[in-house]
Amino acid sequence: MEFIQRIRRGDQEAARLLVQSYERELRITARVTLADARLRQILDSMDVCQSIFANFFARAIAGQFELETPEHLLRLLADMVRNKVTDMHGSIVPKGGIIAASSQRTSVSWN
């Protein structure tokens, strides 16, 4: 993908266009993935996007990605968003949290 080649060369305009092209879709993905209210108190979709774009650009410059189409790029970035949220969720939810469901409501027990 020529776009990635431009980013590898340090083309700031290519980086700006990439963010402009994909940020909206990635923020939607982040908002959908940020289902846990505790996580939403400390992290929002913009935080997630800034983090994954920084990670993506550093790794793209290092030559870690071989992407053939814009769809592959979007899929990679969306996976990075989901992974970031999952990692953050794991760092705030206590280990061994058990979710118990009853017929009336769902409750969480932290044993």
Residue 58's pLDDT is 94
pLDDT in tens, 88-101: 877 766 555 433 33
Residue 103: pLDDT above 90? no
pLDDT at 91: 74
Q: What is the pLDDT of residue 110?
A: 35
pLDDT in the model for residue 95: 56
Q: Cα 39 from chain centroid?
A: 13
Residue 29 has pLDDT above 80, yes or no: yes
Average pLDDT over residues 44-69: 93
Contact 74, 24 (CB under 8 A): no
Q: Please state the pTM of the whole predicted model.
A: 0.78
- Nearest by Cα to 53 from 13, 29, 3, 18: 18
* SS3 per residue for the chain: CHHHHHHHCCCHHHHHHHHHHHHHHHHHHHHHHCCCHHHHHHCCHHHHHHHHHHHHHHHHHCCCCCCCCHHHHHHHHHHHHHHHHHHHHHHHCCCCEEEEECCCCEEEEEC
